[in-house]
Amino acid sequence: MKTRSLLLVVITVIGIAVDQATKLFIDGSMRLYESIPVIPNFFHITYLRNRGAAFSFLSHASWRLPFFIAITIVAAIAILAAFYKLRDDQKLPQFSLAMIFSGALGNLIDRVRLGEVIDFLDVHWYSHHWPAFNVADSLICVGVTLLAIDMLQEEKRAKRQGAVAS
């Protein structure tokens, strides 16, 4: 249990530190909507602020801020509960949930501090843009992807064990 808690703390601290450091750097060194091409017509660093969730969902709702803060707190509690219910041998899900937890807290800090989230990673194909995102969003997406991969592997292991037992 101590190793698991240490894993959670280390990933959370590193994730939040990198997320907040990159956002502070962007906020301090760029003007809002300024864009720096890294790979022309594919990837730019573009300073944006998002008042909503993914794809600016609910960005104009008057109740959005308390809603997103409350949802994030509930999600963080659920993530912690799931994290501590995992078996000790479930390392990838532990790592994945710690990443998701870290990303959720990184964006929560922005919402509490600024009322919105700083985004700056702008992936696009010429004029067709994917919504801009940040390190916290990346932690959440990579964590969810790793968790899904582990769930599929766990299902395959269970089927193999079931076939062997029969």
Contact between 123 and 130 under an 8 Å Cβ cutoff? The reply is yes
For 117-132, the pLDDT digits (tens) are: 999 999 999 999 889 9
**Position 160 pLDDT exceeds 90:** no
For 34-57, the pLDDT digits (tens) are: 999 999 999 999 999 998 776 566
The active-site residue, picked from 19, 110, 122, 137, is 137
Catalytic residue check, 19: no
> Which residues, at least 6 apart from 76, have a Cβ–Cβ distance to it below 8 Å?
101, 104, 105, 108
CA nearest 72: which of 37, 112, 39? 112
Catalytic residue check, 137: yes
pTM of the model: 0.89
Q: What mean pLDDT is reported for the chain?
A: 92
- List C-alpha distances in Å: 51 to 28, 108, 140: 19, 12, 18
Helix, strand or coil, per DSSP, at residue 71: helix
The active-site residue, picked from 19, 110, 119, 122, is 119
